[in-house]
Structure 1
Amino acid sequence: MKNIQNRILLNIDDDGIAWVTLNRPEKLNALDMEMFKALDKTIKLIKSNHDVRCVVVKGEGPDFCTGLDVGSIIKKPMSGIRLLFKWLPGNSNLAQRVSTKWRGLAVPVIMAISGRCWGGGLQIALGGDFRIAEHTASFSIMENHWGLIPDMGGNKALSYLLPMDQAMKLAMTAEEFDASKAKELGIITDVTNDLNQSCRDFANRLMNRSPDAISAIKRLYTTKWHRSERAMLASESLLQVRVLTKRNQRIAVARAKGKAIPFQNSKIR
């Protein structure tokens, strides 16, 4: 297990699941500058590790993440500048990378949400491919509570998940809502009474499929979902050809026929 800047615990188990734990429970896993940098580094470490088949992100203690540690950022004005700085307007800055860069991984990312998932915490969760929450979890696009707008990269994910009026309502009111409402809106994938077991079971289901097909599906959907029909059709065909040239496709056929053959470590990037 790696302890990254005393903020993130990273454990890659024997099954290839990377367990990422926000480890600041005494501050309700609120985001300070060290947490931002640790998350950014963690994503890079996972991306470079070819043994990882799935990622689960969770919070230590009762809460996933209660958002920005405003006090710690205000005390160090340069921290705010470092968070928001970017070379090009369309690039992700540090504050945005902790949400957007999960989508760039070639493996599924599951956000395991317990307790409060507010503000920046929800922005991080929106960067995952799936969000599984405990029944007792609560959510809020809380930035406007402080007179701010949500600016950590989760808005793009919201545009896939919600009608615009519903997203604006949540962002404008900064209202708190429970897991059942989040499921009804489509913000979360599933609700459970046993968070760790549900996430492990789902990760195992995903890892029982070809890693090439899994990574290709993720790439297709995250890059072409809101593009034109022509862009989607072209990408479907190109990615399918790439999948068919990999040995994992033939292994998948053999496994479907009952043969116990392990998949190779391979991904479509």
Structure 2
Amino acid sequence: MNPQTDKRVSLNIKNNIAYVELLRPEKHNALDMAMFKQIVDVQKQIKRQPSVRVVIVSGQGESFCSGLDVKSVLSNPVSGLKLLFKWLPGNVNLAQKVSVGWRRLKVPVIMVLHGKCWGGGMQIALGGDFRIAAPQTSLSIMEAKWGLIPDMGGTLALRECMSADQAKRLAMTANVIEATEAQAIGLISQVAEQPQDAANLLAEQLINRSPDVVNKIKSFYSPLSYWQERRLLSQETMGQIKILMGKNQRIAVVRETKKVDKPYFD
């Protein structure tokens, strides 16, 4: 079957809850171009469904999402351009939509995390209003490991859910942390032995409240104005393009893949 037409994401709506599942378990739900596009398509479908009161996003298999499928995406040079392309700097490109798209839904979004939640997977999770993780979940803002900056829109949420020093520590070091530490510093909302059950319980509690109230409260807790959000999204993309054009990004890849202590340029 053509990998571009394989089903990467499922959407099932039941009792006013939209259940979204990433469907690439053999690759730890790593993001290829088809998955990027299908996540955005699902976001659009949910937006057109007035009956949906809550969204729950999970991943099939051993991990929520291990990040970008670098080999798949970068095997075609055009793919990288498609991810970063936008008509205006403040617009949302395809890479950013898989995170920011959840923020822009009026209804609350719950992310159910387990296994690996790294890089692009962490960026997707940051698009949710709540992140509930299994105790053994490992989490990382991993882009710096490859000489990149986080550029998928998760920076918006990171500024809201944790202190600046902790956010900078995670983004600068690309350290992998466990769920208990992630909860302690505000990266996730809850640790639960059965995160899917915990998400279902929270969804039921939200549905039992007025949708007008729940949706309005969601809008209150986004401290960024429309123009502030556009500025940050622009800074992410323009900063990444500048980094990709520099020598240090290529050095970072060599250091990680070949384990060579090659010095960076100042």
TM-score (norm 1): 0.80
Q: Which residue of 1 aligns with 2:20?
A: 20
For the 8 Å contact 1:99–1:125, the answer to whether it is kept is yes
1:51-110 CA-partner distances (Å, limit 9, x unpaired):
111000000012000000000111111010000000111111000010001111111100
What amino acid is the match of 1:91? N
Q: Which residue of 1 aligns with 2:86?
A: 86
1:135-157 CA-partner distances (Å, limit 9, x unpaired):
11110010111111110000111
TM-score (norm 2): 0.81
Structure with higher Rg: it is 1
Q: Which residue of 2 aligns with 1:46?
A: 46
What amino acid is the match of 1:8? V
For the 8 Å contact 1:182–1:188, the answer to whether it is kept is yes
Aligned length: 221
Matches within 5 A, 1:15-164: 15-164=15-164
Matches within 5 A, 1:186-201: 186-201=186-201
Structure 1 outlier segments of 4+, above 4 Å: none
Q: Which residue of 1 aligns with 2:175?
A: 175
Structure 1 unpaired stretches of 5+: 228-269
Q: Which residue of 1 aligns with 2:258?
A: none
Question: CA offset at residue 163 of structure 1?
Answer: 2.0
Higher relative contact order (CA 8 A, sep 6+): 2
Separation of aligned partners in 2, 1:137 and 1:18: 23
Separation of aligned partners in 2, 1:92 and 1:61: 29
What amino acid is the match of 1:205? Q
Separation of aligned partners in 2, 1:9 and 1:101: 16
For the 8 Å contact 1:29–1:60, the answer to whether it is kept is yes
1:189-239 CA-partner distances (Å, limit 9, x unpaired):
1110011111101000000000111111112222xx256xxxxxxxxxxxx
C-alpha root-mean-square deviation of aligned residues, in Å?
A: 1.1
Q: Which residue of 2 aligns with 1:6?
A: 7
Question: CA offset at residue 8 of structure 1?
Answer: 0.2
Q: Which residue of 2 aligns with 1:185?
A: 185
Give the secondary structure class of the aligned counterpart of 2:221.
helix
Separation of aligned partners in 2, 1:60 and 1:71: 21
Separation of aligned partners in 2, 1:184 and 1:196: 20
What amino acid is the match of 1:6? K
